[in-house]
Amino acid sequence: MFKGGQIKTAALLGLMSGLLVLGGYWATGSNQGALIGLIFAAVTSFGSWFYSDKAALAAYKAQPVTREQVPELYDMVADLVKKADLPMPKLAIVPTQTPNAFATGRNPQNAAVAVTQGIMQILDKDELAGVIAHELTHIGNRDTLTQAVAGTLGGAVTFLGRMLSFGALYGPVNRDSRQGGNPLGLLVLVILAPISASLVQMAISRTREFAADRGSAEITGNPLALASALQKLESIGKKIPMNGNPAFEPVLIINPFSGGGLQSLFRTHPPTEERVRKLQELAQQQTYTNFASNN
């Protein structure tokens, strides 16, 4: 059931790591800067791999819950993981009325699914099952790891740019009797690299969201339930923006931060209308297949 896009995703993550190395070299005009960029890429990738579940849960103050606390939710997830042939993930509740959900973890054996208080109040049982099946597909495809690494690398690009630009302005004079590094390198790190990193994150996330929507339809057999859930989340999410670290935005099922104009160009999620349209097409295909098999 779980497929696709791993080569493309790995290439995009490699491109983001390359931005760190190349930007570090251009900013300092030396191999030492490239080494700094390489170290940043390695450390942040390993850190996000090992601590991805804890970091995302902490970013949204998600609280772990047990079956005794939320028996209906727990049993729903347990039923869906059997259908998806996955281990039971940890469950957590995010204390906010903004309706949203996410999955995190470095692999299916160390995964967690978190839902907000708001999403449990506004979605019916079938809609919530569609959302959770979407998150389980992310776990099965290991998108949770990919998104965490992408978000961490994107943040590292920005941080390294600020750090090296500060050092270039106020640091020691180099061998060419000039203070700082290559002005073009600083421009790449401070302005262009973060923009490029955002575009890479967007490309990764959009690809994985469509795949997870399809996976949800396969697990539940009800693509229209997820389509209905996405429409509700989009409508209410605009009225109640979610507070949190934008670096973890890609792990959420729908873009939780308000904003239009130029900011909308860097949304990490596909347009909800397009996702709904594709789910409706899946429902039509299922109806046709069922009709054909019964005649």
145-167 confidence digits (pLDDT tens) = 666 566 555 555 655 555 555 55
For residue 26, which amino acid is it? W
Domain coverage including residue 49: 6-293
| CA separation, residue 142 to residues 68, 108, 269 (Å) | 28, 7, 17
Give the residue-averaged pLDDT of 188-203.
61
Amino acid, res. 185: G
Asked if residue 169 is part of any domain, the answer here is yes
The residues facing 102 across adjacent strands are 114, 252
Report the predicted TM-score, pTM, of the whole model to 2 decimal places.
Answer: 0.72
* Residue 22 within a domain: yes
97 vs 170: which has the higher pLDDT = 97
Tell whether the model's pLDDT for residue 281 goes beyond 60: yes
Residue 127: is its pLDDT beyond 70? yes
Contact 226, 134 (CB under 8 A): yes
Examine residue 1 and state whether it is found in any structural domain, yes or no: no
In a domain, 36, yes or no: yes
Task: Please report the pLDDT score of residue 131 as a whole number.
Answer: 98
- The Cα 50–Cα 57 span in angstroms is 13
Q: Longest C-alpha distance within the chain, in Å?
A: 83
- Greater pLDDT, 7 or 143: 143
174 lies in a domain? yes
281 is catalytic: no
Q: With contact defined as beta carbons under 8 Å apart, do 116 and 100 qualify?
A: yes
Residue 151 lies in a domain: yes
Residue the block writes with tokens 């493309």: 8
Catalytic residue among 127, 135, 209, 249: 135
Q: Is residue 87 part of a domain?
A: yes
- Is 68 a member of any domain? yes
Confidence of residue 178 (pLDDT cuts 50, 70, 90): very low
Name the domain count of the chain.
Answer: 1
Which residues face 111 on adjacent strands?
105
| Residue 4 banded pLDDT, cuts 50, 70, 90 | very low
Percent with pLDDT over 90 in the chain: 37
Distances in Å between the alpha carbon of 287 and those of 30, 67, 85, 214, 223?
62, 35, 25, 15, 11
What is the average pLDDT value for the chain, to the nearest integer?
A: 75
Residue with tokens 């997830």: 77
- Name which of 268, 273, 15 is nearest 143 in CA terms: 268
